[in-house]
Amino acid sequence: MILSLMKEIELRKDELQNTTIETIYFGGGTPSVLSVDEIQLLIDTIYKNHTVVENPEITLEANPDDLSQEKIIELSKSPINRLSIGVQSFFEKDLKLMNRAHNSKEAKECLALAKQYFDNISIDLIYGIPDCSNQEWEENIQTTLSFGIPHISSYALTVEPKTALASFIRKGIIKNVDDEKAQEQFHILISILEKENFVHYETSNFGKKGFLSKNNTAYWLGKPYLGIGPSAHSFNEKQRSWNVRSNTKYIKSIQNNVLPIERETLTKTDGYNEYIMTGLRTVWGVSFAKISTNFGEKYLNYLKTQSEKYIQQELLYLENGILKTTPKGKFLSDGIASDLFILN
């Protein structure tokens, strides 16, 4: 697989012409199974085929059970300079419900070790878990803060169809997700982290000054990115593309010098909708001037008309020509954005 990934990087070296690489992200699946030598090979291939900034943010996604002391020390000697750790919760019952491989003790030991070797660490936390009380949720946040973690990505629990969790909920073994409670816990998170001087720069992302994820920021600001490997997605401001999911088909295609990729060219309306969706999720909001310049007055007038009711409901507000969500509107940003879309 490593050879196929290296070859895809080479085959696609012209796709980000005139773009300097600022971030490299090893994520999705289980990138932590890669050895440090394999990571180095991939990074070397990127440098060989692209212009890279002097100190890029290089993140590795991992779960606590993947990060032994030996692995963390190994990674600290590699070009990886940021870890994103999928903790999710510090309570055993929550971890079992989500079918996680690690336990609470492993999560805490992993963070204590990681902090000895890495300054830049992000962890994932899940809110809205059935039977997770607001007090337990606050404990999750305080435990995270006790390790001095400078970045938190936090998401509401979603129940995917055909999973064990969906089956347990259907049979009444586990309570269903309570949207009202999830919203409550989202606001508890914001309140605590604001007091701790975290910047809430995107709906699900919070970072201390100097620790906002450059990778996340680039994505939400609509910058181009290149995704390598099975199922990976890419974006070049005009097209979205995605690789085939199957590892076997992916490797076979790459070996034959054929990119296993599908592409979709964005229409002007697609571009507008995408900007609305990403912009409303961020602290930077949606610029009326940018809408006018990039899409035209028709789109701007539509946005002004559609957003008026949300401004009156105090879910959106306008500041210096920038449309943003209010604290009350943050949790509802995706639903609000969809109502501001233009449907072809």
**CATH number for 120:** 3.30.750.200
Within-domain flag for 187:
yes
**46 shares a domain with 186:** yes
Which runs of E-coded beta strand occur in the chain?
21-26, 52-62, 82-88, 121-127, 151-156, 198-202, 205-208, 233-235, 239-243, 261-265, 286-287, 316-319, 322-325
**199 shares a domain with 86:** yes
**195 shares a domain with 323:** no
**Which pLDDT score is estimated for 144?**
98
Nearest to 25 by CA among 264, 178, 225: 225
**Which pLDDT score is estimated for 161?**
75
**182 shares a domain with 74:** yes
User: Against a cut of 0.95, is the pTM above it?
Assistant: no
Within-domain flag for 227:
no
**Alpha carbons within 13 A on the beta-carbon side of 278:** 14
**336 shares a domain with 202:** no
* Domain end among 217, 237, 260: 217
Within-domain flag for 50:
yes
Within-domain flag for 96:
yes
**295 shares a domain with 206:** no
**289 shares a domain with 207:** no
Within-domain flag for 77:
yes
Rounded Cα–Cα distance for residues 91 and 157 (Å): 15
**291 shares a domain with 205:** no
Within-domain flag for 66:
yes
For residue 326, give every residue at least 6 positions away whose Cβ sits within 8 Å of its Cβ, in sequence order, or none: 314, 315, 316, 317
Within-domain flag for 268:
no
**55 shares a domain with 144:** yes
* Domain end among 217, 252, 269: 217
Structural domain boundaries, residue 315: 280-340
**Which pLDDT score is estimated for 252?**
96
**286 shares a domain with 206:** no
What string of pLDDT tens digits covers the 344 residues of the chain?
899 999 999 999 999 878 899 999 998 777 878 899 999 999 999 999 999 999 999 999 999 999 999 999 999 999 999 999 999 999 999 999 888 999 999 999 999 999 999 999 999 999 999 889 999 999 999 999 999 999 999 999 977 776 666 676 677 767 767 789 999 999 999 999 999 999 999 999 999 999 999 999 998 998 999 999 999 999 998 899 999 999 999 999 999 999 999 999 999 999 999 999 999 999 999 999 999 999 999 999 999 999 999 999 999 999 999 999 999 999 999 999 999 999 86
User: How many domains, in total, are found in the chain?
Assistant: 2
Place of tokens 């539509």: 302
Nearest to 130 by CA among 101, 164, 94: 94
**146 shares a domain with 39:** yes
**166 shares a domain with 310:** no
* Domain end among 217, 236, 259: 217
Beta-bridge mates of residue 127: 156
Rounded Cα–Cα distance for residues 191 and 215 (Å): 25
Contact 166, 159 (CB under 8 A): yes
Within-domain flag for 261:
no
